[in-house]
Amino acid sequence: MPPTMTEMWATMGSTIASFMFIWAIISQYCPYEVRRSFEKYTQRFMSFFYPYIKISIHEFTGERLKRNEAYADVEAYLSANSSKSAKRLKAEMGKDCTKLVLSMDEYERVTDEFRGAKLWWVSSKVVSPTSSMGHYHEQERRYYRLTFHKKYREIITEAYLRHVVKEGKEIRVKNKQRKLYTNSPGYRWSSFKTTMWSHIVFEHPATFETMALEPEKKHEIMEDLVTFSKSKDFYARIGKSWKRGYLLYGPPGTGKSTMIAAMANLLNYDVYDLELTAVKDNTELRKLLIETTTKSIIVIEDIDCSLDLTGQRKKKGEKLSDDDEKKLDKEISWREHKEEGSSKVTLSGLLNFIDGLWSACGGERLIVFTTNYVEKLDPALIRRGRMDKHIGLSYCSFEGFKVLAKNYLNLETHPMFDTIRGLMRETNITPADVAENLMPKSPSYDEEKCLSSLIQALEEAKEEAAKTAGEEFTEKAEKEAMTAGDPVKVL
Ligand SMILES: Nc1ncnc2c1ncn2[C@@H]1O[C@H](COP(=O)(O)OP(=O)(O)OP(=O)(O)O)[C@@H](O)[C@H]1O
């Protein structure tokens, strides 16, 4: 008599229970090595009968230093293809901030088909405990796992994966929202305090067209940038990492920050605004810089202040000007106030990164330093090869004014332009000041009021310059008289 259904279930239940009992005995009494070998051989044995192949694509490669490009490509591919079939999705704001973009949530599974092959994608993560500087914390590593039948091995490993990466890249370019990253203190992997990148969408409207700059200079810089962005093969051929350093220098308000925004808009790059004073030491600096992505501009503004070069000069025994002394005192009290101790990022730490580590983190990066005092910088920092192109930005020229008049007032010519041209020859004014005067202050402001306001500002600047020159002249004459010991002249 064949066994009844109830008997079959009972037999199966007792077999499973016996197996679990035996396994519990083995786990308890067998040495670890024996158990490991048992598991290994069981897995090998099972794989003879298991007809599926699995491929994992992890978010980070190496010691969690670098984001895996392939992971980002798969993520983009799946977000475009999975939203129709996945049941659990996560939503993020899209490029134009009007539409939510859906992608598959963690532990979700979706199916795909390619040339008759059926395959499955699962998004998952492993959480493992790690320790750093005596702190224990949990580290999450996300990954996608692709499963398919072994008979499709060739199609999948050759054609399908290429198709996923290609399509994923295209989607990423299309959806790319440019980002402005800044570094600020935060908690990495839940408990370890460090400085981390956070970002917002980069939407600065500046372009080279709207910049007040001599046309030839503008053209030269644009050409340099575009040539750089198309020179992947060239850099590979000459054996140099694909990066270029720019030093922007000039008085405040001459457009250094504006130019960085114009560069990012021209090349469609992200911007990493690196605040060096918030970086604890060279190790942290290296970590931050390695986390930057390709097609990006890494900016260190006011490099003369950020690197504490003033402090270094004082240590070297150089005499500092009153201004520098004040700046140094302010910096020290600011750091004490923030209880951060002093930042230990050194000039050599920065140089080492610029020179050495670039090659380790891929290419297509610009590094831009800005300063108001180029003469204060250490020559080692700005030598060619590190800062390949030095761009001096200066006071507004008449050509520059014409660009601003077109931008702000939509004026190409006006009878008042001649007066402005004359005054600009005689005195200095920054593009920021010109722009401020051309800005309508009320709805009743017309172009003439704006131009008159600029003329007034130019006249005041001229008077101020004459007064300062006069005072300097008297001071110099007095000093000379003192050294010559002529009390009459001094009086
Ligand atoms: N060359 C320029 N062309 C167009 N606008 C300019 C230019 N320079 C300055 N401006 C205007 O002045 C403002 C301030 O300029 P910006 O911040 O770029 O100057 P900066 O040289 O970076 O100054 P700082 O050294 O103080 O940081 C800008 O928002 C912009 O409107």
Burial grade of 356 (CB within 10 A; 0-12, 13-18, 19 or more): exposed
Share of the chain above pLDDT 70, in %: 81
What kind of architecture, by CATH, is found in domain 179-308+343-392?
A: 3-Layer(aba) Sandwich (3.40)
Confirm or reject: Cβ of 372 under 6 Å from ligand 1: yes
Classify residue 59 as left (phi > 0), alpha (psi -120 to 50) or beta.
alpha
pLDDT higher than threshold 50 for residue 488: no
Ligand 1 pocket test: which of 210, 213, 257 has the largest number of ligand atoms within 8 Å of its C-beta?
257
Contacts 24+ apart (CB under 8 A), 193-202: 194/280, 194/284, 194/287, 195/278, 195/279, 195/280, 195/284, 195/288, 196/288, 197/272, 197/288, 197/291, 197/292, 201/97, 201/177, 202/177, 202/178, 202/264, 202/270, 202/271
Report which ligand 1 atom has the smallest distance to the Cα of 372. 25
Confirm or reject: Cβ of 431 under 6 Å from ligand 1: yes
Residue 114's DSSP bridge partners are 117
Kindly give, in sequence order, each residue whose CB lies less than 8 Å from that of residue 371, ignoring residues fewer than 6 positions away: 247, 248, 249, 302, 303, 304, 377
Structure tokens at 63: 């010691």
Structure tokens at 377: 């910088």
Return the sign of the alpha-carbon dihedral for residues 89, 92, 95, 97: positive
ipTM of the complex: 0.97
Task: Measure the CA–CA gap between 408 and 396, rounded to whole angstroms.
Answer: 15
Confirm or reject: Cβ of 212 under 6 Å from ligand 1: yes
Find the 413 Cα to ligand 1 centroid distance in Å: 23
In this prediction, residue 324 carries a pLDDT of 62
Task: Measure the CA–CA gap between 353 and 286, rounded to whole angstroms.
Answer: 7
Pick the closest to residue 248 from 292, 211, 280 (CA basis): 211
Confirm or reject: Cβ of 254 under 6 Å from ligand 1: yes
The one-letter amino acid at 297: I
Ligand 1 pocket test: which of 211, 247, 254, 439 has the largest number of ligand atoms within 8 Å of its C-beta?
254
Total residue count of the chain as it appears in this document? 491
Rank 18-22, 117-121, 127-131, 135-139 by mean pLDDT and report only the highest.
Answer: 117-121
Find the 370 Cα to ligand 1 centroid distance in Å: 12
Q: What is the pLDDT of residues 231-252, one digit of tens each?
A: 999 988 988 888 899 999 999 9
pTM for this entry = 0.68
In this prediction, residue 262 carries a pLDDT of 97
Are the CB atoms for 360 and 290 separated by under 8 Å? yes
In this prediction, residue 338 carries a pLDDT of 46
Q: How far is CA 301 from CA 141, 368, 438, 449, in A?
A: 34, 8, 27, 35
In this prediction, residue 436 carries a pLDDT of 94
Kindly give, in sequence order, each residue whose CB lies less than 8 Å from that of residue 145, ignoring residues fewer than 6 positions away: 54, 55, 56, 57, 121, 122, 124
Q: How far is CA 431 from CA 136, 204, 451, 456, in A?
A: 53, 18, 14, 15
Q: What is the pLDDT of residues 172-211, one digit of tens each?
A: 877 777 899 999 876 554 455 677 888 888 889 999 999 9
Pairing of strands 89-93, 109-114: unpaired
Q: Which residues of 431-460 are buried (b: 16+ CB within 10 A; e: fewer)?
A: bebbbebbeeeeeeeebeebbebbbebbee
Kindly give, in sequence order, each residue whose CB lies less than 8 Å from that of residue 155, ignoring residues fewer than 6 positions away: 114, 115, 117
Confirm or reject: Cβ of 349 under 6 Å from ligand 1: no
Q: How many CB atoms lie within 10 A of CB 203?
A: 11
Q: What is the pLDDT of residues 326-370, one digit of tens each?
A: 665 655 554 444 444 455 777 777 777 777 655 556 688 999 999
Task: Measure the CA–CA gap between 353 and 349, rounded to whole angstroms.
Answer: 6
| More confident of the two residues 128 and 118 | 118
Among 194-208, 295-309, 419-433, the minimum mean pLDDT is found in 295-309
**CATH 3.40.50.300 residue window(s) in the chain:** 179-308+343-392
